[in-house]
Amino acid sequence: MTNGEKNDAASVASALKGREVVVGVTGGIAAYKTATLVSRLVQQGAGVTVIMTDAATKFITPLTLQALSGRPVYTGIWQHIESQDPQHISLARRCDLAIVAPCTMDCCARLAHGQTNDVVCLILSAIDRRQTPILLAPSMNEVMWTQPANQRNINQLREDGFEIVGPAQGWQACRAVGPGRMEEPEVLLEAVAAKFIGSSPASSDASKRR
């Protein structure tokens, strides 16, 4: 199956079971929808670790995402939940896929320029995209989305091997209609599952399973 095809519920579930997924959340209004994405991933048997920028915590609490993922949530680069290794290295090594949803215009800019001064960009910077996919789900006002600087950054991110999912068209929180809405959680879940269909968790690097 290809990424563009609709996958049935059973194949999504079997694709996600036993996968380690990092979910990055940045400071966009669509962050509330990420709770549904995290819950669905967990329900399908994926292990989910949530990482959040400071701005993201203004939109949805780490506690909500901790409860839904059943794991501690990373909210800062100086926080050491795991002591054996710097967290940005250990998390990056063991994940099978990372997705940032929503991904703000600012986060797109930081990633396009290789900046690592927040926990989401730092952890993503330590993921080898040749082996581990990183999906970005941009979410912003339509004018922000179409800004030349943003479009340059999106093109650069694609060229650098990030996969851009969406954005969708439609109603926006700023009471406008246009491109820039984050894709719905079910669409994001399918995009994640599509990366795993045809491979088993056991076939991924054993060193990731700790």
Ligand X SMILES: Cc1cc2nc3c(=O)[nH]c(=O)nc-3n(C[C@H](O)[C@H](O)[C@H](O)COP(=O)(O)O)c2cc1C
Task: Indicate which residues carry an active-site annotation.
Answer: 174
Among 28, 133, 185, 201, binds ligand X (CB under 6 A): 28
Under rule CB under 6 A, residue 204 binds ligand X: no
Task: Provide the pairing of β-strand 168-171 with 177-181.
Answer: antiparallel
Distance in angstroms (rounded) separating the CA atoms of residues 162 and 15: 21
Q: Report, in Å, the least distance between residue 7 CB and ligand X.
A: 28
8 Å CB contact between 72 and 44:
no
Nearer to ligand X by C-beta: 28 or 47?
28
**C-alpha 46 chain-centroid distance:** 14
Nearer to ligand X by C-beta: 16 or 105?
105
Q: Report, in Å, the least distance between residue 92 CB and ligand X.
A: 18
Among 24, 27, 133, 166, binds ligand X (CB under 6 A): 27
Under rule CB under 6 A, residue 34 binds ligand X: no
Q: Report, in Å, the least distance between residue 144 CB and ligand X.
A: 6
Under rule CB under 6 A, residue 24 binds ligand X: no
3-state secondary structure 166-210: CCEEEECCCCCEEEEECCCHHHHHHHHHHCCCCCCHHHCCHHHCC
Under rule CB under 6 A, residue 29 binds ligand X: yes
Give the interface segment with ligand X, choosing from 35-43, 60-68, 137-145, 153-161 (CB under 6 A): 137-145
* 154: amino acid identity, one letter: I
Distance in angstroms (rounded) separating the CA atoms of residues 111 and 162: 9
Residue 201: cis peptide before it, omega within 30 degrees of 0: no
Under rule CB under 6 A, residue 183 binds ligand X: no
Under rule CB under 6 A, residue 140 binds ligand X: yes
Which of positions 37-96 make contact with ligand X (CB under 6 A)?
53, 55-56
Nearer to ligand X by C-beta: 103 or 192?
103
* 208: amino acid identity, one letter: K
8 Å CB contact between 76 and 122:
no
Q: Report, in Å, the least distance between residue 52 CB and ligand X.
A: 8
Among 15, 19, 22, 106, binds ligand X (CB under 6 A): 106
C-alpha separations of 9 from 5, 36, 46, 198, 199 in Å: 13, 16, 14, 15, 17
Q: Which residues bind ligand X (CB under 6 A)?
A: 26-30, 53, 55-56, 104-107, 118, 139-140, 144
